[in-house]
Chains A and B, each alone.
Chain A
């Protein structure tokens, strides 16, 4: 039992992670840019004009990937927070804190681009419909997680309180995803279904997927950079940090 935990600490220790993350960051940023360029090219120059929504539909190339990332990052954040709570591992909790602001950013972008879609297509910036409201709650969960952690001075207690909030909030993610099925809503159904053939041109689908990959790589890069800053802030009194900044 104690052996397993010691091994875990060796591979998941902030000290070992810090230089490794530093080496990985430029690669993930490079991948994000490469996929971003490819995705924008597909979205603006390859994908055809939509029959009913004209050129305005091109908002989906940023709206759908941002919405996916906002939900996916929440699950990843809750996973790390839960792992930190269960195993008492510092680095897992730091990863959760590192992901939260980026998740909040994507939730905001999802709502922002959604409003810019809603105005021309539905005639309104906002409606209190199930999909939109549950995505707004996701943004508030991210902000609540960040605020709760910021309000507690002792980092390990902040980790634990945040983890509980993150884990309880996970229930919201399937609610967002299935909201368009469970309730009558203005929002259209899922763009991509596992069970049905895609209802859109294949090039539109590729544009969305490649943009989602770009946002994914971006999120990893940014979360690693933030995790490194958090490590230095929290471990500033350890010898290795003092030597790392020589």
Chain B
């Protein structure tokens, strides 16, 4: 290992902005995409459930 301290690790030999800018944006992007997809999936399922309930109400003549 080439790091003598935590500070040295985060400094990245003077390239901190570029290295953490790359890894940071990538990590954020790969974390957000699954969250957005989970919301999309839930939205479809919710609207399908609402539709089903509406159908059932109509079916009973209420």
Contact = CB atoms under 8 A, between A and B. Distances in A.
A complexed with B: yes
Interface of A: 29, 44-46, 48-49, 54-56, 58-59, 62-63, 66, 101-102, 105, 108-109, 112-113, 116-117, 119-120, 218, 221-222, 225-226, 228-229, 232-233, 236, 241-242, 245-246
B44 A229 contact: yes
Interface string B1-39: 111000001001111011101110110011001100110
Contacts of B17: 116
Nearest to A50: B13
B37 A59 contact: no
A233 B49 CA distance: 13
A54 B2 contact: no
Interface of B: 1-3, 9, 12-15, 17-19, 21-23, 25-26, 29-30, 33-34, 37-38, 40-41, 44-45, 48-49, 51-52
B52 A66 contact: no
Contacts of B33: 101-102, 105, 222
A55 B25 contact: no
Given A48-B2, A55-B15, A245 B37 contact: no
A119 B37 contact: no
A50 B32 CA distance: 32
A120 B2 contact: no
Given A49-B13, A54-B13, A109-B25, A245 B45 contact: yes
B13 A63 contact: no
B44 A233 contact: yes
Contacts of B18: 56, 59, 116-117, 119-120
Given A49-B2, A109-B25, A226 B37 contact: yes
B12 A55 contact: yes
Contacts of A120: 15, 18
Contacts of A108: 29
Contacts of B23: 59, 62
A229 B29 contact: no
Contact of B37 (A44, A49, A229, A232): A229
Contacts of A48: 2
B41 A232 contact: yes
Given A56-B15, A62-B22, A116-B18, A236 B52 contact: no
B13 A59 contact: no
Contacts of B30: 218
Contacts of B2: 48-49
A116 B21 contact: yes
A228 B13 CA distance: 44
A222 B49 CA distance: 24
A102 B34 CA distance: 10
Contacts of B52: 242, 245-246
